[in-house]
Amino acid sequence: MPARTLTPHVETGHGSPRSRDRVARTLLALAAVGAVAAAAGAVGAVGEAGPATRMVETWRMLGFGVFAGVFLLLAYRPRLYAGIWELTILNKLALTLAALSFGSGTDGAGAALIADGAITLILLAAYALSRGWTAWSTAHATP
């Protein structure tokens, strides 16, 4: 019987698709945890808000909850939701740029710059790692 030679397995690129997905999912789960924490932290702001800002603070708190859900959906099926990646990234990038343009003279701009800037970077990394743009190839147009 001839001797079998073992060929070592060589990875090409930046890791296997499974490991890239795992990292992307972990990043998105961390983003979701951060959004849940932000929503929980905003409860006090809603309670303390006066009539002029109560609705805005409520909208903000509930928005954190929506984004936590979006991050979890993207983590669960990163190549299923055509357009959700891009809308989410654009939203967080727009908030980052708005905070940057408002500067230190606007209450909350510094915190938003850091938080939304970090989330933008996390989303971009997860999008690239999971190849989120491939959701478009599986999207079907309805007649």
Residue 9 lies inside a defined structural domain of this protein: no
Give me Rg for the CA atoms of the chain. Answer: 20
pLDDT attached to residue 15: 73
Is residue 116 in some structural domain?
yes
- pLDDT band at residue 3 under the 50/70/90 scheme: low
Q: Is residue 83 part of a domain?
A: yes
Say what the pTM is: 0.82
Residue with tokens 């932000």: 38
Q: How far apart are CA 27 and CA 122, in angstroms?
A: 6
Q: Report the pLDDT value the prediction gives residue 9, as an integer from 0 to 100.
A: 42
Quick: pLDDT tens for 60-99. 999 999 999 999 999 999 999 889 999 999 999 999 999 9
At residue 103, the pLDDT reads: 87
The answer to the question of residue 8 being in a domain is no
Give the pLDDT of residue 111: 92
Provide the domain count of the chain.
Answer: 1
Instruction: Specify the higher pLDDT residue, 83 or 1.
Output: 83
pLDDT tens per residue, range 15-32: 788 999 999 999 999 999
In a domain, 5, yes or no: no
pLDDT above 90 coverage of the chain, percent:
78
Domain containing 79 equals 17-133
pLDDT of res. 13: 54
In-domain check, residue 7: no
Residue 26 counted as domain residue = yes
- 86 in a structural domain: yes
